[in-house]
Amino acid sequence: DLGEEAFPELTEEARRLGELAAVSRQGEAFAQLAQAAAEEATREAAERAAEAEARREASREARERAEAARRVAVEAALGEERRRQDLQAKAKAAEEEKRRQQQRQQEVVWRQAE
């Protein structure tokens, strides 16, 4: 070719520009792949963060339910203890009343015997 022979430096420059363009296209393709990979990594990280948040929320709710159940159990135990003490006090008062009544009856029997 007459152009290549007449202007070898231009031909060389054209060849280098062609190589640079090819490298540039490869770089763009690589950049697109890197961008896609970064976007995928970001999506995966967001999904993992959302899953972790969901686990934290479920754990918090479970702790709240356990605490509520504990409070109910404590209240029930306290209520049962109050009922037991009330019954014990009533039984003691009834026993005391029965003792006093027996004592009065005994006094009546002694008076009648005199």
pLDDT tens for each residue of 1-44: 555 565 667 677 777 888 888 888 888 888 899 999 999 999 99
| pLDDT greater at residue 80 or residue 114 | 80
pLDDT at 24 (0 to 100) = 85
| pLDDT greater at residue 106 or residue 14 | 106
For residues 67 and 75, give the distance between their C-alpha atoms in angstroms, rounded to a whole number. 12
* Residue pLDDT, tens place only, 53-66: 999 999 999 999 99
Contact between residue 9 and residue 1 where contact means Cβ atoms under 8 Å apart:
no
